Structure 1
Amino acid sequence: MKINQRGRGKFKPAPEYSIEDVRKILMEKINEELNMSIDETMDYCEEDLHYDSVKFNIVSLFCGAGGLDLGVELAGLDVILGKEEVDKAFSSKETYESIREQSVFHHVYANDIFKEALETYRNNFPEHIFVHHKDIRKVKKFPKSNLVLGGFPCPGFSEAGPRLVDDPRNFLYIHFIRCLMQSQPEFFIAENVKGMLTLGKGEVFSQIKQDFEAAGYKVYHQLVDARDYGVPQIRERVFLVGVREDIDFEYEFPLPTHGEGIFLKPYVTLREAIGDLENDPGPYYQGSYSSIYMSRNRKKSWDEQSFTIQASGRQAPLHPSGAPMQKIDKDKWIFPNGEEDNRRLSVKEVARIQTFPDWYEFSDGGNLKVSQNSRLDKLYKQIGNAVPVQLARAIARPLAEWVHENKIKKGEELIEAKA
């Protein structure tokens, strides 16, 4: 519902809507998205797509820098080689490249509109993958696949933002569903922010889940915290895992591996994750701290997990060194030891916290005409938008186990091989 204002206030915030208003708006926006003009030009042909006939072939939507994709690939290796062996290989790009083709998963196609993120994806994934730089709303036909991945954009759902029911970015999931209907994969994995569950008094999430189910899938969802799976970060995210209705498999979300329980490993701390980078952190975003930034605590101690890594250099959490921030008033914090003794986490540090390996090569676009902060911000954006690699690995593991036991070992031909 639009009103005559500019900026963030041009849409009516979700809490003011009745349930009936929300339902009406949802249906209007879904119909608008479905009626959007699709580009009839095919940007690829079948010869551009390289399938593996005895593996689970992946189509990745909103792929970004590839965090979800990399985690899924790792899960597909774990069931073949064992997690310990994969972990050893993962520390070195050369060693990892020597084993990655053994995964039960095989990437075929990846799509996004973020140019620098796609450059990052190309830098780190096999050359055979067709990387499609195009607005998903304009893609005419999606490739066949066995598994579709995607963290559809979330700004309209985020509790940190204006929480707009009619934000057009909330409806890009429709094209994920369009892909499912064309591709008919056995499974899908979708990820989004916690606020997705409560927007529009829960009606938005209810509609999204119903739409995925209407595409022919049993849909399982759960809110998970990344730190429960070995990620040194407090990051709550919703995952939806779909199993095609004709598949006899009930997905179960993995139990936490880390925490305070007697049978759990301790949470991974910032000291363990980035302690060795304290004196050589690499480039980091520099500049003043806004009143919004200083409205709450931004610093965790070395023995804690990081705040959520956001898709912005300016909003990056503070490095844990030095004195803690001090609260002096409602929504007002200060640096007791001075601003000059505090800095934001570096690009390399936030990548570690998102559990990317050090060898992962991020692209800032290489435009030297823009400021260093602007170039760095593109890196923070890619990293903050990504699904933590180790979290994706945990979520995908039950699917990888099913694929290995039910398909790969039997040598079934899953998709007709293409030239």
Structure 2
Amino acid sequence: MDILDGSPPCSTFSIAGNREKDWGKEKKFREGQSAQVLDTLFFDFIALAKVLQPKVVVAENVKGLLMGSAIDYVRRIYKDFDNAGYYCQHFLLDASKMGVPQIRNRVFFVCIRHDLGVHFLKISDLFNVEPYINMDFNEPKIFYGGFADYMGKPYGKRMKEMFDNRKEGDIDMSAAYLKLTGKRGFFNQNYLYEDKVCNTLTAHVDSTIPFKSPVYLSTSEVCNISTFPQDYNFCGLSPHYICGMSVPPVMMAQIATRIYEQWLSKL
């Protein structure tokens, strides 16, 4: 096996979640799997790599894994990969610099087996030795206007009222909600402008909405934002949910290409 790639469930590390309050607690997946402790699944993935011994292992997680107390998990990840027989390094990457029309920051642990990594070793500082691989990307930005079709489902009455009270430059619906009700709210309904790159797409259908038209993003737009094929079979699940929970395929393809060009093709 050349590459083992995985994205161990990472909601407990998300900056949008409860973080430390959920660590060590059992949680259920929306798809119906049995309850389990999500923050330990990363180490189960490393244990699998230890058994299978692929040449390269790639593991993806959220940006929040590098923040605050979660850094202790990162230290253990490095230790467990080393015990499994791998050199490990991590990269915080932005999908919008990798040919994806979406600002999506994700952490990728890229690991190569000890017996192979010795061919690419370099001294990165006084203490660390790691196999060199270039993961710097600077692809041109892709703006929403390049594929906007405004064919999504129309708003209901409440959302439409706030939309009608929006102003150019509004980031989200909160200003209109405050104007109409005198209350604070609707900060999570973020506007998407044609001359901007889409912010991180979430699993919620109303988290990213076009500024120009009172409709939700269409399935075609969601697929484009996440670089999924237009004919992708979502098996009855919401495209917003699947794409909002997934690593954009083009993002992963860019990483796999670098691994092949710089490591695997030279072994």
TM-score, normalised relative to structure 1: 0.48
State the identity %.
Answer: 30
- Partner of 1:166 in structure 2? 24
Structure 1, unaligned runs of 5 or more: 1-144, 259-264, 323-341, 365-374, 408-419
- Aligned 8 A contact 2:13 2:70 in 1: no
Q: 2:144–2:196: 8 Å Cα contact kept in structure 1?
A: yes
Does residue 144 of structure 2 align to residue 270 of structure 1?
yes
Corresponding residue for residue 216 of structure 2: 344
* Partner secondary structure for residue 227 of structure 1: helix
Contact 2:189 2:207 survives alignment (8 Å): no
Q: Deviations over 1:357-404 (max 9, x none)?
A: 21322211xxxxxxxxxx53xx32211111111111111112222466
* Residue in structure 2 matched with residue 236 of structure 1 by the alignment: 105
Q: What's the secondary structure of 1:149's corresponding residue?
A: strand
Asked whether the 8 Å contact 1:232–1:268 carries over to 2, the reply is yes
Alignment length (residue pairs)? 220
Instruction: Describe the SS at the equivalent of 1:195.
Output: helix
Equivalence for 1:156? 12
Post-superposition offset of 1:208:
2.1
CA distance in structure 1 between the partners assigned to 2:157 and 2:202 by the alignment: 17
Structure 1 residues 401 and 191: CA distance shift in structure 2, 3 A: same
CA contact (8 A) 1:253 1:395 kept: no
Structure 2 partner of 1:328: none
Structure 1 position 309, deviation (Å): 0.8
Asked if the contact 1:152/1:192 (under 8 Å) is kept, the reply is yes
Give the whole-Å Cα distance in 1 for the aligned partners of 2:101 and 2:203.
Answer: 17
**Counterpart check, 1:306 vs 2:198:** yes
Of residues 356, 361, 366 in structure 1, which corresponds to 2:233?
Answer: 361
Question: In structure 2, how many angstroms separate the alpha carbons of the residues matched to 1:227 and 1:393?
Answer: 14
Distance 2:201 2:108 in 1: 18
Cα 1:316/1:270, change in 2 over 3 Å: same
Alignment of 1:185-204 (within 5 A): 185-200=54-69, 202-204=71-73
Residue 319 (structure 1) aligns with:
210
Residues 297 and 404 of structure 1: CA distance in aligned 2, closer, same or farther (over 3 Å) = same
What is the alpha-carbon distance in structure 1 between the residues aligned to residue 47 and residue 210 of structure 2?
A: 42
Distance in 2 separating the partners of 1:163 and 1:214:
27
Q: Which structure has the higher relative contact order (CA within 8 Å, separation 6+)?
A: 1
Q: Which runs of 5+ in 2 are unaligned?
A: 26-36, 121-130, 160-172, 175-183
Letter in 1 for 2:137: P
Q: CA deviation at 1:234?
A: 1.1
User: Contact 2:133–2:262 (CA<8 Å) still a contact in 1?
Assistant: no
Structure 2 CA distance for aligned equivalents of residues 201 and 182 of structure 1 = 26
8 Å contact 2:58–2:111 — kept in the other structure? Answer: yes
Q: Indicate conservation of the 8 Å contact 1:149/1:190, yes or no.
A: yes
SS at match of 1:356: coil
Residues of 1 paired with 2:39 and 2:154: CA distance? 31
RMSD: 2.6
Q: Distance in 1 between matches of 2:229 and 2:105?
A: 21
Aligned residue type for 2:259 = L
Task: Please list the CA deviations of residues 307-366 of structure 1 after superposition, one character each: whole Å capped at 9, or x if unmatched.
Answer: 1111233x43112315xxxxxxxxxxxxxxxxxxx33222321121011121322211xx
Contact 1:157 1:199 in 2 (8 A): no
Q: How many Å apart are 1:284 and its aligned residue?
A: 7.8
Q: What's 1:95 paired with?
A: none
- Alpha-carbon shift at residue 178 of structure 1 (Å): 1.6
